[in-house]
Structure 1
Amino acid sequence: MGPVPFCGMVLSDLGADVLRIHRTAEVGKPVNPVLARGRRSFAVDLKSARGVSLVRQIVDRAEVVIEGFRPGVAERLGFAPDVLRATNPRLVVGRMTGYGQTGPAAQRAGHDINYLAASGVLGALGTPGAPPLPPLNLLGDFGGGGMLLAVGVLAGVLRARASGVGQDVDAAMVDGSALLMAMVYGQLVRGDWPRERGTGPFSGVRPYYTTYECADGGYVAVGASEPKFFRALVHGLGLTAAIDLDRQSDPSTWDEQRRRFAAAFAAQPRDEWARRFAASDACVTPVLAPEEAPSDAHLAARSTFLVDPAGNAQPAPAPRFSETPPARPESAPLPGAHTTAVLTELGLDAEDIAALHRDGVVASAA
């Protein structure tokens, strides 16, 4: 489940000691090299009473447990939050689901697209007269899911450290994606948000807030909403004599604006426009592919991406802190890479550890 590994990655990036519990059957299988970075891995059979007992011992030493099961599954496995807090009262239990722990849809299967559909997000995405457009799985799985779970867990830890009392964090992707739409729902209350999909101010319908194709097939993003930025855009395109700056927000001029902007951008390749607008406040940016972004001069100067010796890039930890030096996350471990080390930390001797491996209760990466 993407949101839970993402939450673990974020917490690890921020300095938490994160231990991932893998199933023994996952040992030897590949992991996502970015989402799994910076943590340790313990492979155990949770259908075994001995395996459950080992994980309970680990939980007793933890501040946080995060799970992504459907409601009721953790309880059936022996990890009900109240049971865990009977021996670890400060424990914060983060519970990641699509529809939440309660409600008529709580047990329903779904994915990012379903949760966005239910929360009103998907219905606002896309162009007029066309079907709603899924935004990858960023708004449900990661923004409204894993990131919201991380925020909730951190808030729970702060309270537990102050009060000595843990609690559950019910992080549902329908809740989180709805929360990300706070601005839109606020504008709906005021009557400022159009009900037709693809006609809102940030949907691309306005010619000064959209994308344009360039001569080489590349694209630029234009976000010149404010008059001073619009003026810089028009000047940079050489259209000062053709565009009425005072009628920027007049919808009756938008077709003409769009036609002239499109023709101008189509006359030069993407990187030429990037060069021309590099020192301008016209809010014109080349649309970079994921494999191009790490080479962007600004992002490279900020070390927004980490690049390994083989040239593979991944997003660096964020945000930045003034007093905490940035850390380079350790590479993602194979499932079960730290099983023996964790068992040793629990006080088991070599003979006991060997028996657990032999009986299939735990497993280690080769």
Structure 2
Amino acid sequence: LNWGLSFPAYEIGGIYPEVYTVKDLVGVVGPALSANIYPLIPTLYFEDGKLNPSLLNGKSNDSLKLYFNGKSSDDLTMSFLQKYFVSPSDSISSQWAVYNQSQYLNAKYELLIRGYEYKDFDYGKGISFSTNRGETIKFKFKVPENGKYILAARLGTFDKQNFHWILEEKTLTKGFFEYAYGNKSGFEVLNVVSLIPVKDFEAAQKQAGVFVKHFGVVTKKDIVSQSWKEVNLSPEGAMKYKLENNQEGYWIIFSQNYNSLWNFKKGIEYFESIPVYSMVNGFYVEPDWGDLHIEFRGQEFFRWGLWVTVITVLGLSIIFLVLVKKGNERKNRGDIKN
């Protein structure tokens, strides 16, 4: 910038506004897209542990395209089964090095100095790794009923530095099932394990198939930048906004840190946000919708929690006073008899 300053100054171009709209998103199954190759392509990540894929049900078929970034249909299927995932931090015993979600950078460094390039999302569950063949990590699962289950482990090896799923069918009886995974190749990284009822696994497979058919799959060359339009918001109160103009496209991106309590309101209906770029809030909207608002509902839930707390304290106080009164009455009757 030629501003006559005594130090160099530069303008950063291509900055997006706080709220804007785009026509569609790219739903990525796999690691994050390179910012150098795909700058600011609006994306969702099925494996970041933040996205609930079921929130995409019922969305228009041209509002999202799927991209498999080094992954397969198994990876998409498993993203619908996150409630069954068990972290290495929840193992009952381990000879492996275990890193929880908050130790992501430590884990990345320890793997990098050993020649393993760690790019995958970890579903927010952390990882463990082993460098010696035969080392084990053990888990304990509750088996709710007799039947068939899918035992799944998400693994990476030195030769295949890309998390992939190992699936095995088991017939189990109600109770508990202990699973010990042993290092087979000499260098292995484990993200999560899970025990899934076969019926739920098959339902997830069907759901993944529906997504592929409905939204369609794109290749690298199909991923291109798209135009966006700024959206005007009018404040309606604390952390509440009204959309002032009709939007173009299916997605409104609100550049506040992602929190599922940021909700989109159409009339009296509320819709949960989804994590765009795995960082900010995105809201689906049909172009002909009206009476649109964005609200942070954390304050509402806090108020309800406060009311419940106050009512609970008052109730306990009344019970305490009643008990004290009854105790005094019994004591007085005893004194009269004496």
- TM-score tier by shorter-chain length is under 0.3
Q: Which has the higher helix share?
A: 1
What TM-score does the superposition give when structure 1 sets the normalisation length?
0.24
Structure with larger Rg:
2
